[in-house]
Amino acid sequence: MEFRYLGNSGFKISEITYGNWLTHGSQVENDVAAKCVRAALEAGITTFDTADAYANTAAEVVLGDALRHEPRASVEIFTKVYWPTGRKQHNDVGLSRKHIFESIDGSLKRLQTDYVDLYQAHRYDVETPLEETMQAFADVVRAGKALYIGVSEWNADQLRAGSALAKELGFQLISNQPQYSMLWRVIEQDVVPASAELGISQIVWSPVAQGILTGKYTPGAEAPAGSRARDDKGGADTVKGFMTDEVLTAVQGLAPIADDLGLTMAQLAIAWVLQNENVASAIMGASRPEQVADNVKASGVKLDADVLSRIDGAIGAVAERNPAKTSSPEKRPA
């Protein structure tokens, strides 16, 4: 496993992060989830990402249980705040001072830790003054409950405004967590250049496009049993935008490229996002321990210019590049 600095800081994380969205507390049983975390640790992953909203706080509980015997200094634990949690009442959502302070305490209790290494704004909150949000994050850091602050799916203007306020308040934004893959490149035009300018790294989610880039889905064929596209607990909704014959046909064109490199298609997809110098880590999920051991082999893989060109040729116009699709909700969810 290789490690990279996160943003303009001295903080290093594993270039593959283990994430438990859609799995822990929902799609897989807790004992399997614990085995996946153990497999991640054995593979050299030290960075673990979750959120209070995942499985309505249950994912944090599962991760906390799985990591409780690990020396705290040897792992990096990330969580997030924004989406509705708990009873989902009027103040149980957003980035108000009240919600941030209540949420960090709840997350720490569930994760069985005194602090998180990175606390992230899960989306931009258009209903709370940015000054209030950033002041609350500054106070969370000063209270020792989070070491660093990051965001998720903020656009370039939001990153600039948030970064400026953070500096005024004596801390810095060091990360953004956007969706990024061969098929979803919306951050490349605006977010990545702004982030590089501001000293912010990307921790990218869905580098395998929710499993699409593994090649297991083929055009005109029914999705395999047990796959995310067949999951009725939320998984199918996350992949349906990619489940078109045009996209699936283009993805099949990646198979010979992966074969030539001695990689699986999933390893190729993860290695591809890590070629972007602004990407510090790629988040990988798993529903089986063997998936972890397989996908971590993407760490350290270097793709030359010819390979990158072949990938672009295979994917062609099916990749989404519209920077406007980097966005947060226009109003808080009910």
Q: Which residues are catalytic?
A: 54
Helix axes 130-142, 156-168, angle to 10 degrees: 50
Q: Is residue 240 classed as helix, strand or coil in its secondary structure? A: helix
User: Which DSSP string corresponds to 135-174?
Assistant: HHHHHHHHTTSEEEEEESS--HHHHHHHHHHHHHTT--EE
Q: Per residue in 114-141, is it b (16+ CB within 10 Å) or e — as a string?
A: ebbbbbbbbbbbeebebeebbbbbbbbb
155, HSE (Cβ side, Cα atoms, 13 Å): 13
Q: Is residue 19 classed as helix, strand or coil in its secondary structure? A: strand
Q: Give Cβ neighbours of residue 76 (< 8 Å, ≥ 6 apart).
A: 11, 13, 14, 46, 47, 48, 117, 118
β-bridge pairing 3-5 and 12-14: antiparallel
**Tokens 């350290």 belong to residue:** 300
β-bridge pairing 16-19 and 279-284: parallel
